[in-house]
Amino acid sequence: MRRDLRAPARVRMRQEALVHLRGRMGDTSMTKKFVPILLGTEIGAYGMARAFWEAYGVRSLAYGTFPLTPTRHSKFIEQRCDERLMDPAVLVRMLNADAGQLNGALGLVIPCGDEYSILLSEHKDELDGRYVPICSGPGTLVQLNDKSRFYGLCERAQVPYPQAITLGPGDEVRELPFPYPVALKPTDALDFREHPFEGQKKAFILDGRHMLEEALRRVFDSGYSGKLVVQDFVPGGDDNMRVVNGYVRHDGSTALLSIGQPVLEDCAPMRIGNYAAIISYGDEGAYASVERLMRHIDYFGYFNIDMKLDVRDGSYKLLDFNPRQGRSSFFTTLSGHNLARCVVEDVIEGKTGESVHASEEFLWCGVPRSIVRRYVANGPLKERALLLMREGKVGTTLFGGHDRDPRRLWNMAKLWAHYRVDFRRYFGHRELEG
């Protein structure tokens, strides 16, 4: 499967490199021939480690700045942490120093966060040859991480997206080409998080020009140096959101697409936009949009896309592209499509084939089930969620798989209690994200 606008030379280079590496490995049927190397110690990394354990019985190495709660005391993971890890020299030095412990296996280096995706992409050529970085080149990631450039890609691929303009420091707010309310988001989410200010959120929903001007002032006064996207707010709540997980093989073909419908979002200010519960299902219309976009991108590895159903015209509007699996992506594995198998079948076994479009219904919960029962508004979506609970088609990333170290279970219980407190505190005051 060739891509319309893919650079063939890059694809051939990836193919040739992997053929060479597999040739050095000998019998690739042996699962001992690879080691998952996860960059990150948050919930997304734990989900990947659990997927590798359940599919192949192999333990992952997780590198991070700190030993975060989701990946501590897990039989699936060995943590290797250094608070300086975001320094490229430190990351490269740590990985290369550990390469000798692979014992002839390939290290599949998988970023599990935005910062790690960029870091790996920019410095993958400095890694020991025993590692296979599962990521695209830095030029591709620059396009995808900058929302204005990403929407340009959507335009060329003829994939619907919200109308938007970009504003920088000192730019005047003129008449907008779309009505209020509007969504306000940073083009550079990483730089935005490094400049906190009172009332900071991942996104703002603003009802008029005065509110927009005030939000712009607060953001730029914080020291944020990037631009901001002022975006047509796609109406509707959580039930109109969609999240797509996928994997693109090294030859440019799409291996897997999996879609979920959020049932509930987190409500804590800096976690708005994080999904608290998702129902997986199948939607060929959404899959067609994603396939069309991916044909226009020189991409390799896992990805996660947020989109929203626009009831005004019935289209799915693409909102964000994340060059890694999402923190909630384990819903794909739970519904019967193990995400770890994608990269192993691609890189280790050299398998190809048609793209798999997942369609199974399953309820993923990133919070206690009691929160889903209490805070999801009554209606068809809640009824679907409750039915799946009754049928036993429900699970979560952090519990399961016989990962039952008492210290881990105690930490998870405290985390669950923390979610209950946050929902009681913030749910009644939340704002919708566009």
Pairwise CA distance, residues 47 & 283, whole Å: 24
Residue 265, pLDDT > 60, answer: yes
* 3-state DSSP assignment of residue 217: helix
Pick the CATH number of 163-232 from 2.30.29, 2.40.10, 3.30.1360, 3.30.1490: 3.30.1490
Residues 6+ apart with CB under 8 A from 89: none
Provide the whole-model pTM: 0.88
| Residue scoring higher pLDDT (119 or 270) | 119
| Residue scoring higher pLDDT (22 or 199) | 199
List the structure tokens of 299.
């991409």
Contact (Cβ atoms closer than 8 angstroms) between residue 51 and residue 332: no
| pLDDT bucket at 1, cuts 50 / 70 / 90 | very low
Same topology for domains 8-142 and 163-232, yes or no?
no
- The percent of residues in the chain predicted with pLDDT above 70, rounded, is 91
- The percent of residues in the chain predicted with pLDDT above 90, rounded, is 76
Residues 6+ apart with CB under 8 A from 360: 280, 281, 282, 335, 336, 337
| Lookup result for tokens 């504003």 | 167
CATH superfamily membership of 238-429: ATP-grasp fold, B domain (3.30.470.20)
Pairwise CA distance, residues 204 & 22, whole Å: 48
| pLDDT bucket at 433, cuts 50 / 70 / 90 | very low
Residue 340, pLDDT > 70, answer: yes
| pLDDT bucket at 7, cuts 50 / 70 / 90 | very low
Strand residue runs (E) in 5-82: 34-39, 60-64, 77-81
Pick the CATH number of 8-142 from 3.40.50.1100, 1.10.3720.10, 3.40.50.20, 2.40.50.100: 3.40.50.20
Residue 22, pLDDT > 80, answer: no
Residue 272, pLDDT > 50, answer: yes
Residue 14, pLDDT > 70, answer: no
Supply the pLDDT for residue 2.
38
* Helix axis angle, 147-157 to 138-145, nearest 10°: 90
Dihedral sign, CA of 357, 364, 54, 74? positive
> Residue ranges of the domains in the chain?
8-142, 163-232, 238-429
Nearest in space to 82 (alpha carbons), one of 102, 97, 99, 70: 97
| pLDDT bucket at 6, cuts 50 / 70 / 90 | very low
Supply the pLDDT for residue 286.
96
Is 218 buried (19+), middle (13-18) or exposed (0-12) by CB count in 10 A?
middle
CB atoms within 10 A of CB 163: 13
| Lookup result for tokens 């279970």 | 409
Check residue 344 and report its DSSP letter. I
Dihedral sign, CA of 341, 343, 345, 351? positive
* 3-state DSSP assignment of residue 318: strand
Residue 52, pLDDT > 60, answer: yes
CA dihedral 291→334→78→89, nearest 10 degrees, is 20
Least confident of 3-7, 111-115, 190-194, 347-351: 3-7
Supply the pLDDT for residue 429.
54
Residue 26, pLDDT > 70, answer: no
Q: 127-157, pLDDT tens digit by residue?
A: 999 999 999 999 999 989 887 788 899 999 9
When pLDDT is averaged across residues 403-427 and rounded to a whole number, the result is 94
Strands 228-232 and 164-167 turn out to be antiparallel
